[in-house]
Amino acid sequence: MKAFIDRLYPYYNFTNDRPRRYSSRLAGQGRKAIIFSVCEQLEIEEMGFTLGALGMPLEALGYEVVEKFPVTGYFDRGAVSGDEELLRKTFEAGKKMAEILR
């Protein structure tokens, strides 16, 4: 997670005063995001703060998170590709995003 956040620093503009304020070079451009998170546990509560932790840096950059998509009960690589219902839901989320971006 820290590596993900660290890679976002080039997109921020920081002031030189203390505490430093920041703005985003990407803000105000109508950017949108869907956040997907996959966890092995079956209960969504066991996913913890993952969706929020992924969304907050994007929102700080000026993205609007249009959907948070938690997926539970998968661990092995490629396991979600065998779940037709899940694939249908992700496809619908993609269609929704495409409609929003038009």
Q: What is the pLDDT of residues 46-55, one digit of tens each?
A: 999 999 999 9
Residue among 66, 59, 56 nearest 92 (CA): 66
Percent above pLDDT 90 for the chain: 77
* Cα separation, 5 vs 94, whole angstroms: 24
Indicate whether 1 pLDDT > 80. Answer: no
Check residues 4 and 11 and name the one with the higher pLDDT.
11
The stretch 78-98 carries a mean pLDDT of 94
